[in-house]
Chain A
Amino acid sequence: MRGKNGGKDFLVFALPGLFCFVAVVIVPFIYGVYLTLTDWDGVSQDKNFVGLQNFAAVIRDKQFWSSLLLTFKYVIFVVIIVNVLAFGIAYLLTRGMKGQNFFRAGFFTPNLIGGIVLGYIWQFVFSRVFVSVGEVTGWGLFEVSWLSKPNMAFAALVLVSVWQLSGYMILIYVAGFMGLSDDVMEAASIDGASGFVKLKNMIIPLMMSSITICLFLTLSRAFMVYDVNLSLTAGAPYGTTEMAAMHVYEKAFTSRQFGVGQAEALILFIIVAIISGAQVYFTKRQEVDA
């Protein structure tokens, strides 16, 4: 691109894309900060400036904090299980056996399908299939639908999320394992490194860049879980599985407290940004070159 007619270039090349971005992301984001300072209900004509009252209301909103706590619990379970499982499966997949591509493609399938459909599929599995297993075998675990008991409904949500997210992480870990140099691994074996020592001192450090990516992706996705939450449990039983993102939605669009809802959304955003920022910072420092 020649720099002579910079203004015209800007209009033709940069402006259309920039306009979409600013109109959909930047303007609403800034307007959102302003919304937290008003008492708007989403419908009425007048918005009154209320200062920090909404934030005071957030502090008093017990449901928000319990949904946030639940989200933390959920994120910890999901992030750990997804990454350990995906790492393990990717390791098995890259040992040079037959059908590697077939398995990899199969594991990824849940990622192609929207969270709404996945949640409904599992709702059927939990409420009909597992219960029927319980009836036939008499196993207490499956006697009552998981979705009707608070703790089990939470476990169900974790299980479905793990199932949904791990295929994606398997792809990234497989790519990481394939990038490991055979020579280095072989050298370690010749030097007498056992399986565990090799894993701890060689494989994990060399896989750190894949781990950084996977942790980041699982963290940000798990924190913002909504679709599966909505279609699998919809917060039931008795709101015990309502995650933070769903609470924000309910606050704004069902309770019609736009200001409070947006204040909670911003707090959630800041928490996620700090946590994933810290995670990337710390895991990136662990990255080494072969």
Chain B
Amino acid sequence: MTAELRDERVRSVSRLSRLLSRPELGAAAGTVLVFVFFAITAGNTGLFSAKGIINFLEVSAQLGILAAPVALLMIAGEFDLSVGSMIGFAGILIAIPSVFWGWPIWLSLLFCFAVCGGIGALNGLAVVRTGLPSFIVTLGSLFMLRGLTLGLTRGISGRTQVSGVHELALNDPLNSLFSGQVFSGPIAWLSDIGLIGKRADGLPSISGIPVSIIWWIVLTLACTWLLTRSRFGNWIFAAGGEANAARNLGVPVARTKITLFVMTAMAAALFAAIQVLVTGSADTLRGTQKEFEAIIAVVIGGTLLTGGYGSAIGAMFGALIFGVVQMGIFYTGIDTDWFKLFMGAMMVIAVLFNSYVRNRAMRSR
């Protein structure tokens, strides 16, 4: 009887500390705070209308597509600073073959994913083989890729921007995978029953959900499954937590890390594919600073910079906060110059909070 009682007490404590030790906790709380803040300051400006929601979700989705695999890589203890430049490079890899060499869009897309995956593998190999910090190796890739993008684009097209992809993509079989909208039926129905507003011409204020949002959700779920439910996920945590121990137990640490570098590079390619097909053009400056934005989202999401701990769901919250703040500042009419100040401060606060949560979890014995 007493034993049972004691057991129960121990269990309730551990459940609470388990909740408090979730890496996503800080980001989830932050998301609620940011929503409450903008509900008060921008409640009637249209930020939370159907159109406004789609707007900030689209911003979040783009970043979130990068952040999910970047979170996995950071949990494995490595950085990829080259994703931003990779976006610019990938955009060019899609646009130039289609516009200048007459390749069909689907072939350019496959070409782009293959080349980016290959560069990701090279990044990973360089990190694993040399033993140098990935921060330095991928900082090198950041500059090399940007320079390569600029050099190739100017060399081939004479300009820094390649447009005219829209017309070529119209009837491409892969076009709708990366641009356009889905669920227009259900959206129209929601509009008919009055849940979503209508425009003056009687059409719903939004015509569907952009595919980028679907990609974001699917990628986040896939990364979460990988991390928490697959063998590979166990290896990711171990590679970042204590690589030597993992190696001694037969975990292929090098292979795990290289695979993750390929994944972040492919995510950058996906980002570029969506951007190029939605805007119809590629630009050599695309993706600038996206590597840092992705790291901010991941860190706000509770992932440790030192590796071994974190979550993909957290990165999703981080990206969501990013999108809401960016669009929220726009809607409230605050000068958007202040956005970066806000995000930077937010990240520092998140890191402080997360390290507090983690220390608490590790001490709870």
Instruction: Decide whether A and B are members of one complex.
Output: no
Mark B residues whose CB is within 8 Å of A. none
Mark A residues whose CB is within 8 Å of B. none
